[in-house]
Structure 1
Amino acid sequence: MTAERSGSVTDAEGTVLDDIDARPGSTASLLRTLIGLYLRPLGGWISAADLVALAGDLGIPTAQARTGITRLKQKGLLLAERRHAVGYRVNPDAVTMLERGDRRIFEMREMTDADSWCLISFSIPESARSIRHQLRRRLQFIGAGVVSPALWICPGHLQDEVVDIVTELDARAWVTLFRAGAPTTSRTLPEAASEWWDLDALRDEHLAFQRSLTALPDEPFAAYVRLIDSWRVLPYIDPGLPPSMLPADWPGGRSYAEFARLSTTLADAAWQHVRELTGAVTAEAARS
């Protein structure tokens, strides 16, 4: 999540740091999930002590939390800022990426047969192979499928994200986008989808997410943050293909339903815990 151009962030060496570049369940991923969920509602700033305390409620030891926070500051997600205490604020350059993550996590879309597709055709010279590598990497991270090495496909509603990626990589001279209807092939649509996307790997991700639900903590705050942390990769790598392109026993529907049910159940109690720990004053309380 670091100088940002319209939606992604780069580190000091110019490496693009994607929204999902940390392994779910790791200290880095849990801290990023925590920051993404709560720092903006808290006004964009949190004291170092409160951030470490919240990390502790997630089972992250103090020393490990401080090291993880330092690394996120180095990557540019956080900026050190002293107010009444030592603390951190969200880097304004990371806000667009966080907002994009909100849309993906909480507004995941499933396609219908009537929806359009976006085709991405590119021919990038060997002299710009690093850009070609980044383009393929980032298209994969938004759930695009590979029709051929230089022709990728994704849901039409993701076209704006593709445009952002191409712009950020300064690859517009080499990339052409097409809006298209349903693909026509000599194979069935499920067969084509299984070649363009790694559906076996996606199935494994859904099943792993569903297994993770059985290990959620009892405490609502820790359960909610770990729920979001386990879920947040799926809305990126799963394009939400229409049912006509998926096997009959596809597990995605159950994942979506369980995420919606649990997030609705846990969100308010988790936010209440954050408010109490940080002493945050809500708008409702300020008016009363």
Structure 2
Amino acid sequence: MKVLISADIEGVAGVFHPEQTRAGNGEYEAARRWMTLEANAAIEGAFAGGATQVWVNDSHGGFRNLLPDLLDARAEVVLGKPRTLGMMAGLEYGAALVFMIGYHSKAQTRGVLAHTINSFAFARVSLDGVEVGEAGLYGALAEEYGARVALLSGDDVFAEETAPRFPEARFVVTKSATGHASGVTQTPARAREAIGAAAREAVQSHLSRGLARQTSRADARVKAVTCELRVQTTALADLFCQWPTLTRIDGVTLRFDAASVEHAVRMLNCLSAMSFMLR
């Protein structure tokens, strides 16, 4: 049983303020340690449940936040960018299960530090008419590679919005949101304990059902999708529509067709990178 863990920071217990997610200050250094230890709890739980290989993907910002020396030595760490599969880099190694640790709710919701991919650029992302956050988008990419999303952690708003999309997955609620940058949190130690237990149970459950291997991508459902993107300003729409395959629907709404979810993810990440021209 191979497991890929995608670790973000906004959904980590104790994280509430943007300062905690940005490098260059003491609050970030504490938060990245909590992020690393939550990822480690998932790693240890996965191995305890019977995993044979585990990759942990650093999925926040510049993708170099995790502290590898604090992670279980049996795991391998995916760091740095750019990379083709973004927050799901590691799927190409054949993971059967995916864990999303420290995730957050989609843009324009009341979850803690809610956004979708790029808070400066994107206000809403939809695939085939269904609005998605990062979990929905990257979960669809995991499924396209034949992997199953089995465990997610983050705040209560994230859990409520995401549970219908992954009805068989386990959720660990690390904190409750009262606003964009406020709420009530479990202690980091308690959150890690819950994540570790859920990770162990998720692997054991799938092994007991004989689901130890990733379905081949050829056998998984790979299909063309239409992505509709609402951006934060007309200036961003002006910039993104320099890309000839994008169609402008109105001042801030764009649309493009993609051959697969992977291609949609790659396009969105390219647009996110382009947005830095306007910062």
TM range, smaller chain: under 0.3
Greater Cα radius of gyration, structure 1 or 2: 1
Structure with the larger strand share? 2
Structure 2-normalised TM-score? Answer: 0.27
Q: State the TM-score, normalized to the length of structure 1.
A: 0.27
**Bigger fraction of residues in helix:** 1
